[in-house]
Structure 1
Amino acid sequence: MSHIEKADLGNNGSPPVAAKPARRIGNPGPLGLFSFASTTLILSLYNVQARGIRTPNVVVGMALFVGGLAQLLAGMWEFAAANTFGATAFTSYGGFWLSYAAIFIPGSGILTAYEEKASELSSALGIYLITWFIVTFLLFIASLRRNAGLIALFFMLTLTFMLLAISEFQGNTTITKAGGGLGIVTALIAYYVGLSELLARDESWFTLPLGQVPKRLD
């Protein structure tokens, strides 16, 4: 047996086992952002009463499977990709959409519990929305050293939740429409950020800037 043949064998004379290539995890960001943007856009159009729509129940399917399930999966993959911010944001809003959908599912009994308590329902929804205003504000703070796209997204989403909460507390449809308008802007920003992440430099004809924020030096 030649020296070359011996070198090609393992220590026990058997062929060496090739090392497994490192697994590359795709970027789950575009999935999460597009899912969030699409569901937010639909509900926001309902909130501004586009084409005379006043009942938002059609959004339940989107909230369950797109805004909810798809975002939840994106959040789990962000954990695998070691992106704590993305994982926290996507998983949180996936949970938000699932919980929001549960409110409007007849079998849940949530709305029927308030059939004769309209003012109590408004207060309950206001507390629900103001809680998500707090969560979004905290995520906005965490986004300040990332990029301008995410900063704008969470800033607008913070204002959207604030207005929607106020509209429930005040029972004011004008404020609801204003919140819906901000929600539409938020969705468009999310589409832009998602597309920017989807257009990988080596695989696309062009890219979209996100406005990177300088990182800390220490």
Structure 2
Amino acid sequence: MSQEIQQIKTIVADPTPLGLFGLAMVTLVASSQKLGITSGLSLVLPWAIFLGAFVQLIACFFDFKHNNTFGATAFGAYAFFWFGIALSWLIKMGIFGEVLSSQADTKQLGFAFVGYLIFSLFMTLGAVETNKVLLIIFLLIDLLFFGLIGDVFGWFHSAHTLAAYAELGIAFLSFYGSGAMLLNKHFGKLFLPIGKPLGIFK
């Protein structure tokens, strides 16, 4: 008796424009604090949690439905980065009590940044064969984590400034990437260029 296997494909929209919009918003708000334009983290937290974390997590889920391992892994990993960083800020601000706040060692965040830099370098290699906008975004993410690591461990004086401007660059490029991919899909043609893959590894 033969057994037939039926596969049902669920068609879902490309979540990349939404995910990039979330990344753009959170990095824009966070960079304003690093650059000294704004102060404190209280009103960075909502954007970190909802735009940096939840929006990218939604994009991650739908990229998995697209069978897009690269996009799903990227959005998922950075979503949980923003969950982690938001919780770390809350601990340092004393929201969970003085005991946790007093035991916060910023160098542990530095090691987390090292892990994310390693991850981002791998993702940068993948972005080489995606498009040029994403490649530049990932290069800026690499610079951001390098600056954050340098700032935490005191490697060089301008590390904080490097992180701040890299984060601002991520915001602007992510806004462009989100808009370009959205309009290209909406109009069914190349409306705004995002740059072809470099073709180095393929």
TM-score over 0.5 (shorter chain): yes
Q: Sort the Cα spacing of 1:184 and 1:127 in 2 relative to 1 into closer, same or farther, 3 A.
A: same
Counterpart of 1:128 in structure 2 is: 112
Give me the whole-angstrom Cα distance separating, in 2, the residues matched to 1:136 and 1:194. 19
TM-score (norm 1): 0.78
- Match for residue 60 of structure 1 among 45, 57, 60: 45
User: Within 5 Å, which residues of 2 pair with 1:37-116?
Assistant: 37-51=24-38, 53=39, 55-105=40-90, 106-108=94-96, 113=100, 115=102
Structure 2: runs of 5+ lacking an equivalent: 1-7
| Aligned counterparts of 1:193 and 1:163: Cα–Cα separation in 2 | 23
Distance 2:85 2:31 in 1: 14
**Is there any run of 5+ residues in structure 1 with no aligned partner, and where?**
1-20
Measured in 1, the distance between the counterparts of 2:54 and 2:85 equals 13
Which stretch has the larger CA shift, 182-191 or 122-131? 122-131
- The 1:204/1:169 distance shift into structure 2, 3 A limit, reads same
CA distance in 1, matches of 2:144, 2:201: 34
Give me the CA root mean square deviation. Answer: 2.6
Aligned residues: 192
Q: CA deviation at 1:124?
A: 1.5
Aligned residue number for residue 26 of structure 1: 13
Residue 125 of structure 1 deviates from its aligned partner by 1.9
**Counterpart for residue 163 of structure 1:** 147
Deviation at 1:156, TM superposition (A): 0.8
Deviation for aligned residue 1:56: 2.3
Alignment of 1:155-194 (within 5 A): 155-170=139-154, 174-194=158-178
1:126-169 CA-partner distances (Å, limit 9, x unpaired): 11212111111111011111111111110111011111111011
